[in-house]
Structure 1
């Protein structure tokens, strides 16, 4: 029975890998009302008005019941035999229409809330800092999109509308009960404060189990995404059973936390039943006594008990909705925690568009670290003349990719400046900074769309002729024409329906169409074989013509395209010069040439000496 009716012994989990702060119930309700309901207040008025009508007609039922018993069954008034059924029919038809309108309106408002939240989440992720996105597994974000937002929607749709509807019914029915017999009403409702106290005790545990359920759901999303992404390695190393075991452990923990929530919600019913039974028992005892020894009529008592029985359902529903509300509050904390997250790379309110006239770049005493106390760049200074090609060479972790990230303002320097034509990038609009650069990486990024859409990505206004010209310049037009649907062929997830060389040429065509004055290369040919590389070299030469180029080099063929080679180590410049000069200097570059560039025919170099002091720039 453990795990079904009783909690299993499990390790407590209190961490939240999304690193979002908790939000109180009032704040969640206030934000939903302000951000999602207030802009649609006419619909909200319709929903509340129809809820109030349903509640009012519910409150009328006890009086109709009383009149039926007293006037028809006891007083035997024939006229009422025809009047009351018609009245009941009209009331129920009107109640049904109002209930239909209320439900449809509530459903739209709830669906609109979930659409708004998903839009805000996506927008936030699209504009968020790259560092935070890279430090959090994508599966967790997908979990928030698909699970947490749905929980918020359920809480909003059920709780906000349900509380209003059930509360109004309780108000009308309580009013009817007190109007009929205030003392009898007090007896029936006396147990309600006890139920309220028990619900408050449940709240903390409900929140804990819901929070852990959502965390485990995020873990499951992460492992599914990770396994699918690395499925070839999983199969190659015969790890299917181990990955399944990991997933099963997460699924089992999720099940247990879900069952904790279910047990909390289910416990509400017997509590409500017991307290209602206590109230009914007291009402029967007092009402029966008054019926025997007092002047309480059967119709009066029947009408009162009808109200008492009708009030039971909304009271029970409110108790259940309390748990749903707590689930929504925890999910909302995660959703709003992402939406409210501060962006470190923010646009200056007075920012102006970056105007690139020549394309000269200067890194002026730039220091940067991804983690405090672990600098990646230290007082880095480098001048890149307009129209020049600078190759960045160095061991892994030297800071080469960080320079590319800073040029695109994925991050801002901790200190120092980055200037383009004497304009500080932090004083320019983010859009103009990124539109001034074309980025090509080792692994080309294609989207699950058509070839045409991938080429004009970021240049959506391009004409068909411009797209074809870019494809020809990239050497891609021939193989695109041979595809089943030509430029309308879908490339698949991450372009997996194309070869590596084909993907890279489409990426080149995209960059050529972008026609940016600055090109940033992270060795876009290093992952290609010799034949594929030969096919894209001409496209690369076309792309680089007349532009300022920063390129991370892993191959000698790329290095030799550079006007200046900048050798980096531990975030500093240790050597600069041409290939021949650096080989003759016999420093770090010469060592990299013998190791990283081996296989390129350029002759061997002697064993490395202590890296030479840079001649041009200081680090």
Structure 2
């Protein structure tokens, strides 16, 4: 799971104004992790003190302890979820506004390079995916990480040898997360591009519906859409296969370790090395470890898929305007004297000239008609006046003032 460090730093800047809420969320995550582990540990006194030792005092205290544990776990889970959602929604609000403001101020050439549907995908889909990662995926992964830490403390406290044996299986279980995570990152990028391509095709088809009807190309357009949809389907199915195989594989690897632990733990119970309550509390801790590892595995895949969205968002924000807007420029109030093209040349791609060494003077309050074949440069000439583009060479003067 690799993400450009510069992008990560910039993403953290969006989170910085909400650091208090993030700290509160982290505290809530730690408490939830600790309380989840406590539910496993409470099994030991429930079995040993109530059902085996028949301790009446514990019969009264432990049910209240269990209820209190789950009450506070639910409370702090709510606090954590609300805080992270609040931060994520505000980050989404800020990024979406910034990217729209940035795009709307870019020159016409940018909009010719990127199709409208692709820009829509970046403003809406990519930012939405980023918001989901911040609000849901990352907080759950961090919370489950704390849960894993506390559960390991519980199982090592109950029996060190059993815990040491159980730890061996977890590095093996981590391998699928690393392997499939790389694949999910690539598929995440392909998926976002595929969505943009489909959106582009739909928009072009609906916009040019008269041409499609006039030339009877409905079947051709349908075939093109089917091809793009099929590509998107294959990407989603492959992503689904990778995502869904992770959990069963981890389950199987975990079952091998659990089967051995039941056998070995049973021997320890027979020898009196560990109590019945201690063994069942230990096993409960192990079973509770499964969900956090499964969540982190899925989170890893989801975060890798989101890396492409993050890169696409910042790519747009990093696109620099090609035109310089001077803050102390003149306010245009109509042409008073003339418009002059002084040795103006222009090229779109830096190689082929659309206009070459144009010298022209148009007096105020006169009408001039430009006539010529398509592609002769008439539209380009007009686009230079309102500065949709700037001349590659030369300058344009309105009332003797360079329009730049």
Corresponding residue SS for 2:369: strand
Query: Which stretches in structure 2 are left out of the alignment for 5+ residues?
Result: none
Counterparts in 2 of 1:92 and 1:359: CA distance versus 1, 3 Å:
farther
Corresponding residue SS for 1:42: helix
The match for 1:34 is 13
Q: 1:259 aligns with which of 221, 231, 237?
A: 237
Contact 1:345 1:410 in 2 (8 A): no
Q: 1:299 aligns with which of 277, 301, 305?
A: 277
Corresponding residue SS for 2:397: strand
Contact 2:138 2:299 in 1 (8 A): no
The aligned runs of 1:20-419 (5 Å cut-off) are 24=3, 26-35=5-14, 37-348=15-326, 351-356=327-332, 358=336, 360-419=338-397
The Cα offsets for residues 422-472 of structure 1, whole Å up to 9 and x where unpaired, read as: 43333xxxxxxxxxxxxxxxxxxxxxxxxxxxxxxxxxxxxxxxxxxxxxx
The Cα offsets for residues 39-67 of structure 1, whole Å up to 9 and x where unpaired, read as: 22232223222222211111211221112
Corresponding residue SS for 2:42: helix
C-alpha separation in 2, matches of 1:389 and 1:39? 56
Corresponding residue SS for 2:391: coil
Contact 1:195 1:275 in 2 (8 A): yes
C-alpha separation in 2, matches of 1:74 and 1:301? 14
TM-score by length of structure 1 reads 0.61
C-alpha separation in 2, matches of 1:25 and 1:291? 52
Contact 1:25 1:326 in 2 (8 A): no
Contact 2:84 2:134 in 1 (8 A): no
The Cα offsets for residues 367-404 of structure 1, whole Å up to 9 and x where unpaired, read as: 21001210112222323344444433333223222232
Contact 2:185 2:306 in 1 (8 A): no
Corresponding residue SS for 1:238: coil
C-alpha separation in 1, matches of 2:403 and 2:29? 56
Q: 1:423 aligns with which of 383, 401, 404?
A: 401
TM-superposed deviation, 1:296: 0.9
Query: Which stretches in structure 1 are left out of the alignment for 5+ residues?
Result: 1-21, 427-619
TM-superposed deviation, 1:317: 0.5
Counterparts in 2 of 1:31 and 1:197: CA distance versus 1, 3 Å:
farther
C-alpha separation in 1, matches of 2:186 and 2:224? 23
C-alpha separation in 2, matches of 1:174 and 1:346? 59
C-alpha separation in 2, matches of 1:238 and 1:402? 33
C-alpha separation in 2, matches of 1:233 and 1:356? 40
Corresponding residue SS for 2:348: strand
RMSD of aligned Cα (Å): 2.3
C-alpha separation in 1, matches of 2:44 and 2:58? 12
TM-superposed deviation, 1:150: 2.6
C-alpha separation in 1, matches of 2:350 and 2:367? 32
TM-superposed deviation, 1:134: 1.6
User: Which fold has the larger relative contact order, with Cα–Cα distance below 8 Å and residues 6 or more apart in sequence?
Assistant: 2
The match for 1:528 is none
C-alpha separation in 2, matches of 1:182 and 1:398? 84
Counterparts in 2 of 1:100 and 1:247: CA distance versus 1, 3 Å:
same
Contact 1:159 1:321 in 2 (8 A): yes
Contact 2:339 2:363 in 1 (8 A): yes
The Cα offsets for residues 535-564 of structure 1, whole Å up to 9 and x where unpaired, read as: xxxxxxxxxxxxxxxxxxxxxxxxxxxxxx
Contact 2:127 2:313 in 1 (8 A): yes
C-alpha separation in 2, matches of 1:293 and 1:310? 26
C-alpha separation in 2, matches of 1:39 and 1:328? 23
Counterparts in 2 of 1:422 and 1:279: CA distance versus 1, 3 Å:
farther
C-alpha separation in 2, matches of 1:294 and 1:419? 98
C-alpha separation in 2, matches of 1:384 and 1:235? 43
Answer 1 or 2: which has greater helix percent: 2
> How many pairs were matched up?
402
